[in-house]
Structure 1
Amino acid sequence: MLSALIVVVALAVALWPRGADDSATVEDRVTSAARIDPQQRAAVGLAECPRPADGAVGSGPLAGLALTCLADGERIDLAAALAGKPAVLNLWAYWCEPCRTELPILQEYANRVGPAVTVLTVHSDPAENKAIAMLAALNDEQRAAGRAPLTMPGVEDPDAAVRTAAGAPNALPITVLVRPDGSIAEYVARPFHDVDDIADTVAGALGVTA
């Protein structure tokens, strides 16, 4: 009984459920992207989002999802862009403190694994402008501490469509591991502790070591 209680408490601490106070307003949803100046996007320093290879066709649960790239505001066909390579999709939001802690660890993993895996962040809240502002502030903190800034590509998912497609719980952070054929290997409903934690999880689910 005690061990079960500890597990429940640990999960509650690890994951931040999305509540009414955390949701963006209607104004955020409608005008967020329009308020983001291209220079604001560029100043964050995120990499361009992956683009579909010639003839690539998206398949699996993510097929048909068109999301906005945080780096440039362009729309991408998510499943087609990921086709042919294993992918790690990290779902986060600007208001999620465990997500803020996890993002630099994910960047460290992306640097380690290189082009073998597509590492993509997915902002799962309508307030894209607040996501851009949070990433800019986090990168300022990273540089001030002598650490590498976040450069991973990311997309805006205002309706949490990726979470829904993966069948994941309504909490953050969530990491979705996608096979090259577009099928979902698993989702991880907890924050990662360090880069080795990510590497071990990805190796077990997708067979890619780093």
Structure 2
Amino acid sequence: MRKTIVVSALVFVAVFAALISMIVGNNNEPTPENLQEETQNVASRPDCEVSTVAGVQLDCLGGNAHMSDGNPKITVVNVWAWWCEPCRAELPLFDTLAQRHPELRVIGVHADTNAANGAALLNDLGVSLPSLQDNHNAFAGTLGLPNVVPITVIMNADGSKEAVMPRAFSTYEELETAVMAKVHKG
């Protein structure tokens, strides 16, 4: 009986010590090194040709926003988030779409408050797609988009919404076919 009490007390002390260690050791405050890395991730992103899409003003994720050449273009917007696995898979597809179709303006809208994680994901994937940062879900809210990612939105050259595709694309061919069908409709 005495042995059982001693063992129980030791187990209790060990569990209590482990809990205290986890609580004290789980310090998520950023270190100067982490902050510097986050800043570098965001700063290394390309410039954005536009900062207003569908009347919504957004910051460029990393680079600077500059005025477009004034030539209205059909805009393909990929709404994504850094934590979204389907987004991770399709972001390179949108990068390829932008490279193969310069007649289109292809941009991303990162729909999460953590810009550093968004920039890090793009950098890790080797994606040069310019992306805007949407900290407050303003783009989706203004357009009445469903609360899911990824979403592809096609905007006409006049800024009106042409199509909304709340789905992930698995292949480049699938993405290109879907986008071009909406772009060339009618």
Give the TM-score of the pair, scaled to structure 2.
0.71
- 5+ residue gaps, structure 2, are 1-28
* Separation (CA, whole Å) in 2 of partners of 1:82 and 1:34: 36
Larger Cα-atom Rg: 2
Q: What displacement does 1:71 show?
A: 3.0
Structure 2 counterparts to residues 1-150 of structure 1, below 5 A: 36-37=38-39, 39-43=40-44, 46-51=45-50, 62-63=54-55, 65-72=56-63, 74=64, 84-113=72-101, 115-138=102-125, 149-150=126-127
Tell me if structure 1 keeps the 8 A contact 2:60–2:132.
yes
What is aligned with 1:169? 146
Tell me if structure 2 keeps the 8 A contact 1:67–1:76.
no
- 5+ residue gaps, structure 1, are 1-26, 53-57, 139-148
* Separation (CA, whole Å) in 1 of partners of 2:119 and 2:158: 31
* Separation (CA, whole Å) in 2 of partners of 1:51 and 1:167: 21
* Separation (CA, whole Å) in 1 of partners of 2:48 and 2:70: 10
* Separation (CA, whole Å) in 1 of partners of 2:69 and 2:108: 14
* Separation (CA, whole Å) in 1 of partners of 2:70 and 2:129: 14
Give the TM-score of the pair, scaled to structure 1.
0.63
Q: What displacement does 1:204 show?
A: 1.7
Identity of aligned residues (%): 31
RMSD: 3.0
How many residues are aligned here? 153
* Separation (CA, whole Å) in 2 of partners of 1:165 and 1:76: 22
What is aligned with 1:159? 136
Deviations 1:1-33 (A, max 9, x none): xxxxxxxxxxxxxxxxxxxxxxxxxx99xxxx9
Task: State the AA in 1 paired with 2:128.
Answer: T
Q: Secondary structure at the match of 1:171?
A: coil
Higher RCO (C-alpha under 8 Å, 6+ residues apart): 1
